[in-house]
Every structure is written in structure tokens, then in C-alpha cells.
């Protein structure tokens, strides 16, 4: 017989349980505490270190130190919120229960699911054996991001490959950001003319929002980067320094090609965490099944979701989680009060695309790829202002405002006819 709330002690029952202590989870916890200080809230997350992952592009380009992107998780949990340092095994949403890896069961009145996504390194043959050596690097992992900068600095000529897997992935602009910064470094060092730089993209477009493609294509052309669309990395031979790509032709036929490299920056395939994929909470694609506007679960009214794990069409960025958090908090409290869910998420996401050291294309957009700038200038133009936002303002906003629940939002202005 399935367990119920009455089978567990009072100490393991909470008004709100949040699965995930990353950007989304901590922001929701902090906002809930500010809105209703007396709520009993628990955050479930086994990690002891919290990372500001948007900074890892800058770490890989030698602009930011890795230590400046990391903080102790325990120091970020809002006061009055219980931290359950454990992994989740399963969900029983019909009984409002979460089962931890050790078998302990946690009860809730409302559940917020935001554990992020997982990096599927093993889906690329040979990658795990060579990642972090043989010139194979990635800004997507804490353990390898510093090696990216080592590879960029040491390369004085040869072939550098940068890859992007099929969508969805988190921070979809990151795979090309590092290609531009690396090329700019080599240009400044006077060795770019001795380099062959390739950007191999599994999809059929340089960027998912057409409005911002022209300045990115300008960067591709400026650095002389060879852009290969419909090229998906499937295997790596590190010692031989050979990468294998599955190539899809316009007629749908497929073939494989190999590329020799001196440096290979890999963006791994990504998916929802396994404990989410095996749960009753997912949609057919394996992502958390939530309403795209209210962010409440499509089938279980006591469950909400946000961040990288949800199966909505917005970009998976920290900016998206920042915009989703107040919607989840407002609607969760409304559901507790028996009120209609009035808050709606419009799909807002943002991607500061570093096209050089000191210049950024600030892409902001809504569902459907509708551009939605926050500032009164043409954000397609690479700017020093956006570089300052990316390198100085956004990290402080993240640590001191977003995660503390004191965030404020500039109004964005949708450009419907773009």
C-alpha cells in the first residue's frame, strides 16, 4: 500500500518542499520567506557547493577566477529554511510525498521542482576518458573549465573545434561565446592566422532567435571561423586527437565525418536528471510537465516547476529562472489561499553573447523568439555597456539580490514585428 502523510513524523512534513538548491530553488525559497515568514519550507539538495555557472565562460576565457564563481551552499540557504542535504529517489505526487535516496519520506502541501538538468557526457563515445586532457576541454564542468583557458593560452597554431549538441541545453549561447573569446585571444596574440577554427552545431541555425543572428554571423566572419551546421559530435579519440561527427544532409540522410584537432571544446548533450525522467512528473520528451504560463504542473495541482528542468520552450538560462521565480511564488501562494493563479511567465530569457573581450550582444527574448530588450539601445550591436553588465553587474545581482529574494526587474519591451 502506498505511504501517506500520516505515516511520517511531523518533523518531515512541510508546507513547501523545494527540490533543488540551485539558482531557481534558492530564489524561490528566499522569496517565499520574504512573502510569508511563517511558512515551513525545506530545500532538498545534496550539493555542498553552489556555482554561479554563467561565470564559467569568463573563467574559460581567463577573465574570472573559478573561486569567484563558487560559494558554500549552506551559507546561501535562507534563514528559517530547512536544508535536507540528500538526493531524491522518487516522487509520489498523488500523496504529496518525496522519497529520499536513503528511503526517508518527506511530505508537503506544495512541491517546487527545480533540480536543473544533467550533463550526459557518456553519450559521446570516448569523451569521459579524455575530458580534461589531450586538448579536450569544456566550460560546462567545474573540473574542466580552467583547462579551457590553459588550452587557449598554449595553442599557437593548429585546429580548434567548438561543438554544440542538439537542443535543449542550458545557456544555448555558451558554446559559441567561448569560440569568439578564444579567437579574439588568438587575434590579440597574433596567431589567429595560423589557426583553423570551427564551430560545429548539431542544429540548423547559428542561434535560435533570428533577430540576433546577423551580429553573430559578423563575428563568425570577422574571426574566419568555419561554421558547420547539422554536425553533431558523437565520438572523441583523445590520444589520436580525432573527433567524429554525425552529419545530417538537407535531404535527411546522415553520414559521419572525422576532424583532427589540437583543441576541442565540448558542450555535452543534456537532459533532465534521471530521477526526474523516471518519475510520473515528466512529459513525453522527458522534461517536467508544467503549464507554460502558470508553471504549475499539468496534472498535479500541488506541484510547480521552474528552471532548466521544465519542458517549456524558453531558453534555459539563469535569466529565465530569475523571471520564473516570482511567477511560481505568486501562484503557489495563491493556490495555498484558494485563489486563482493570476501570475504568468512570458518565456523571458536572456543571453549575453560575448563576441570579443569587452563587447557583448545582449540577447533578450520571449516565447516564440520575440526580442524583448530592457535597455534603450539596439542590443544587437556589440557593446561595452553589456560587457560591464556581464562581467560586473550580473554576478553581484545574482549573489546579492536574486538569491536573497530582493530582486527587481527592468521592464522589457517586446518587438513583435522583428
pLDDT tens-digit profile, the chain (418 residues): 566 777 788 889 999 999 999 999 999 999 999 999 999 999 999 999 999 999 999 999 999 999 999 999 999 999 999 999 999 999 999 999 999 999 999 999 999 999 999 999 999 999 999 999 999 999 999 999 999 999 999 999 999 999 999 999 999 999 999 999 999 999 999 999 999 999 999 999 999 999 999 999 999 999 999 999 999 999 999 999 999 999 999 888 999 999 999 999 999 999 999 999 999 999 999 999 999 999 999 999 999 999 999 999 999 999 999 999 999 999 999 999 999 999 999 999 999 999 999 999 999 999 999 999 999 999 999 999 999 999 999 999 999 999 999 988 878 889 988 7
Q: pLDDT value at position 232?
A: 98
Find out whether 98 and 108 touch, Cβ atoms under 8 Å.
yes
Find out whether 326 and 30 touch, Cβ atoms under 8 Å.
no
What is the reported pTM? Answer: 0.95
- Comparing CA positions, the residue from 6, 10, 15 lying closest to residue 337 is 15
Q: Residue 389 gets which letter from DSSP? A: I
Is 114 in the active site?
Answer: no
Residues with Cβ within 8 Å of 339's Cβ and at least 6 positions away in sequence, in order, are: none
Q: pLDDT value at position 323?
A: 97
DSSP 235-265: EEETTTTEEEEEEE-TTS-EEEEEEE-SEEE
Which DSSP helix (H) or strand (E) runs through 223?
A: helix 213-223
Strand partners, 98: 91, 106
Which residues of the chain form CATH 3.50.50.60?
A: 10-117+272-350, 120-270
Strand partners, 159: 196
Distance CA 36, CA 338 (A): 16
Distance CA 44, CA 76 (A): 13
Residues with Cβ within 8 Å of 124's Cβ and at least 6 positions away in sequence, in order, are: 233, 234, 235, 236, 266, 268, 269
With cell 583547462, the residue in question is 147
352 phi, psi to nearest 5 deg: -75, 105
Q: pLDDT value at position 199?
A: 98
Expressed in percent and rounded to 5, the helix, strand and coil fractions of the chain are: 35, 30, 40
Q: How far is CA 220 from the centre of its chain?
A: 23
Grid cell, residue 164, equals 554544440
In CATH, the architecture of 120-270 is 3-Layer(bba) Sandwich (3.50)
Q: pLDDT value at position 2?
A: 61
Is 151 in the active site?
Answer: no
Q: pLDDT value at position 3?
A: 64
Of 114, 137, 151, 351, catalytic: 351
In CATH, the architecture of 10-117+272-350 is 3-Layer(bba) Sandwich (3.50)
Distance CA 236, CA 242 (A): 6
Q: pLDDT value at position 417?
A: 81
- Comparing CA positions, the residue from 142, 133, 134, 162 lying closest to residue 65 is 142
Amino acid at each position: 500500500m502506498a505511504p501517506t502523510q500520516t505515516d511520517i513524523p511531523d518533523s518531515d512534513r512541510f508546507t513547501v518542499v523545494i527540490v533543488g538548491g540551485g539558482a531557481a530553488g534558492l530564489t524561490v525559497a528566499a522569496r517565499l520567506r520574504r512573502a510569508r515568514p511563517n511558512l515551513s519550507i525545506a530545500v532538498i539538495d545534496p550539493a555542498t557547493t553552489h556555482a554561479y555557472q554563467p561565470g564559467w565562460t569568463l573563467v574559460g576565457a581567463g577573465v574570472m577566477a573559478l573561486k569567484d564563481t563558487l560559494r558554500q551552499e549552506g551559507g546561501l540557504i535562507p534563514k528559517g529554511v530547512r536544508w535536507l542535504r540528500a538526493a531524491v529517489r522518487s516522487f509520489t505526487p498523488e500523496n504529496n510525498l518525496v522519497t529520499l535516496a536513503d528511503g526517508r519520506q518527506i511530505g508537503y502541501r506544495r512541491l517546487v521542482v527545480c533540480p536543473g538538468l544533467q550533463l550526459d557526457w557518456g553519450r559521446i563515445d570516448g569523451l569521459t576518458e579524455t575530458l580534461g586532457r589531450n586538448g579536450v576541454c569544456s566550460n560546462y564542468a567545474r573540473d574542466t573549465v580552467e583547462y579551457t583557458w590553459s588550452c587557449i593560452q598554449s595553442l599557437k597554431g593548429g585546429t580548434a573545434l567548438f561543438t554544440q549538441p542538439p537542443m535543449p541545453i542550458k545557456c544555448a549561447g555558451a558554446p559559441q561565446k567561448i569560440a569568439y573569446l578564444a579567437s579574439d585571444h588568438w587575434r590579440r596574440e597574433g596567431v589567429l592566422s595560423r589557426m583553423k577554427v570551427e564551430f560545429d552545431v548539431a542544429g540548423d541555425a547559428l542561434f535560435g532567435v533570428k533577430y540576433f543572428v546577423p551580429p553573430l554571423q559578423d563575428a563568425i566572419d570577422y574571426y574566419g571561423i568555419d561554421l558547420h551546421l547539422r554536425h553533431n559530435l558523437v565520438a572523441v579519440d583523445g590520444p589520436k586527437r580525432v573527433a567524429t561527427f554525425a552529419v545530417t544532409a538537407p535531404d535527411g540522410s546522415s553520414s559521419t565525418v572525422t576532424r583532427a584537432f589540437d583543441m576541442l571544446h565540448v558542450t555535452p548533450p543534456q537532459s533532465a536528471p534521471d530521477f526526474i525522467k523516471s518519475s510520473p512528473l515528466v512529459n513525453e520528451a522527458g522534461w517536467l510537465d508544467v503549464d507554460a504560463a502558470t508553471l504549475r504542473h499539468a496534472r498535479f495541482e500541488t506541484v510547480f516547476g521552474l528552471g532548466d528542468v521544465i519542458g517549456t520552450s524558453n531558453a534555459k538560462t539563469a535569466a529565465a529562472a530569475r523571471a520564473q521565480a516570482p511567477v511560481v511564488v505568486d501562484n503557489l501562494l495563491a493556490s495555498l489561499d484558494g485563489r486563482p493563479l493570476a501570475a504568468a511567465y512570458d518565456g523571458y530569457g536572456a543571453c549575453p553573447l560575448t563576441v570579443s573581450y569587452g563587447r557583448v550582444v545582449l540577447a533578450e527574448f520571449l516565447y516564440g523568439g520575440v526580442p524583448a530588450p530592457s535597455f534603450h539601445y539596439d542590443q544587437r550591436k556589440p557593446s561595452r555597456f553589456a560587457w560591464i553588465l556581464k562581467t560586473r553587474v550580473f554576478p553581484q545581482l545574482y549573489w546579492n539580490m536574486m538569491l536573497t529574494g530582493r530582486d527587481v526587474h527592468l521592464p522589457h519591451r517586446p518587438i513583435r514585428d522583428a
